[in-house]
Amino acid sequence: MPDQSYSTNSHLSVAMTTADVQTTVTNQTSSSSSSSSVDFYFQSAVIVIGVIGAAANALVLYAMIASKQHKKQLLIFNQNIFDLCSSALLVVTYALKLCNLRLTGKLGYWLCIMLLSENLLWAPIVASFINLMSITVERYLKVVHSAWSNKRLRSWMEWSAVAFAWIAGVVYNMILVFFTSDVVDGVCYSYVFWESRVASVIHGIWNFVSLNVVVVFLFVFCYGRILVVIRRQAKVMAGHRGPGSSMPTAQTQSHQIQSNVIKTMFVVTALYIIMWAPSNIFFLLVNINANLTLNAICHYILLFIAFFYVCANPFIYAAKFEPVRRILVDLIPWKKSKVQQAGGSSLEMSVNRAVTNRYVKERY
């Protein structure tokens, strides 16, 4: 099976100027047959990741809706929508690549531009990066500058952040694909047709700074400050509770809810930096040095690690995010029976939960 995605359909593709295209395409086509089996197995593995990710993200979205967290945590809910779209498009895009279509005419061109170039796939992925930064800033404002956020932050601001992430992700990727992709001899080549080396280098640097440097800076600064404030609040809470007090107050429980959300997003953001860093670094290097190449196996390993992030996210929410975990546990029959048997303290838990919900309804 000819290697399409290794040489053409990825953000890891080697940048080319128009003058170099025909020679490069010929060389890539002649050497592609040696890695055909590698392509098949890795593309199949990516499809499996997409199926698992789509199913897991759908469950998390259901749990967030059932627990009413989709209204309280709009940006986090939107992050899971991005992950669901990315997972579904992974399946569609790589299943189409396995078909090994020869592209002709307008239909072939649009299949290349929209799907085989991974245009529709990368749009929600890039949008999720933007949304992740919005979540980090939102958590920072609500914890570090809580008084200011209570007065200034409004729901329309969150909706604006959601809309901006969608629009920016789609527009950015559409423009990039339309100007750097085309069909040559029935094969889709994406992110390779640059007007000049300068344009390629500038884009590579900008891509790395915006999706890595900025994210790392926000992550370290915001969550570092959040950690300091959370620890200070925990000491204050411990001082207010008497030595014989075992019943958590509404304020203490709201603090625990806040900490739970922050821990969840901390893990999600850290995993993003770790799993996307190799791909983004290589993309920067190939845009700076056009002679840099990577064999098919290494290329797919980088992609596999990056795409695995989309599949791993819902398991983080299921393990760390208490409202989601509670709903998912209720879906397990044998867990449900255990909960029913342990009904002795259910009334006390219900009262505490009602008090807590009333306390944090407006704030969180």
Query: Can you give the CATH number for the domain in which 221 is found?
Result: 1.20.1070.10
Say yes or no to pLDDT of 222 above 50.
yes
pLDDT digit string (tens) for 130-184? 998 998 899 889 888 888 888 888 889 999 999 999 999 999 999 999 999 999 9
pLDDT of residue 277: 85
Domain of 291 in residue numbering reads as 16-335
Task: Inform me whether the pLDDT recorded for 34 exceeds 60.
Answer: no
| Per-residue model confidence (pLDDT) at position 330 | 81
pLDDT at 345 over 50: no
In a domain, 197, yes or no: yes
Residue 20 belongs to some domain of the structure: yes
How many independent structural domains does the chain possess?
A: 1
Is the residue at 360 inside a domain?
Answer: no
Rounded mean pLDDT of 25-52? 70
Most confident region among 132-136, 257-261, 349-353 by mean pLDDT: 132-136
**Higher pLDDT among residues 340 and 59, named by residue:** 59
Lowest mean pLDDT segment, chosen from 68-77, 218-227, 248-257, 303-312: 248-257
What does the pLDDT read at residue 225? Answer: 87
pLDDT in tens, 264-281: 888 888 888 888 888 888
pLDDT in tens, 6-21: 344 444 444 444 444 4
Give the model's pLDDT for residue 358: 47
Residue 304 lies inside a defined structural domain of this protein: yes
Residue 58 covered by a domain: yes
How confident is the model over 242-259, as a mean pLDDT? 59
Residue 344 has pLDDT above 60, yes or no: no
The model's confidence at residue 35, banded by pLDDT at 50, 70 and 90, is: low
In a domain, 353, yes or no: no
Q: Does the pLDDT at position 316 exceed 90?
A: no
Mean pLDDT of the chain: 77
Q: What is the 3-state secondary structure (H, E, C) of the chain?
A: CCCCCCCCCCCCCCCEEHHHHHHHHHHHHHHHHHHHHHHHHHHHHHHHHHHHHHHHHHHHHHHHHHCCHHHHCHHHHHHHHHHHHHHHHHHHHHHHHHCCCCCCHHHHHHHHHHHHCCHHHHHHHHHHHHHHHHHHHHHHHHHHCHHHHHHHCCHHHHHHHHHHHHHHHHHHHHHHHHHHCEEECCEEECCCEECCHHHHHHHHHHHHHHHHHHHHHHHHHHHHHHHHHHHHHHHHHHHHCCCCCCCCCHHHHHHHHHHHHHHHHHHHHHHHHHHHHHHHHHHHHHHHCCCCCCCHHHHHHHHHHHHHHHHHHHHHHHHHCHHHHHHHHHCCHHHHHHHHHCCCCHHHHHHHHHHHHHHHCCCC
- Say if 236 falls within a structural domain: yes
Q: What's residue 292's pLDDT?
A: 67
258 in a structural domain: yes
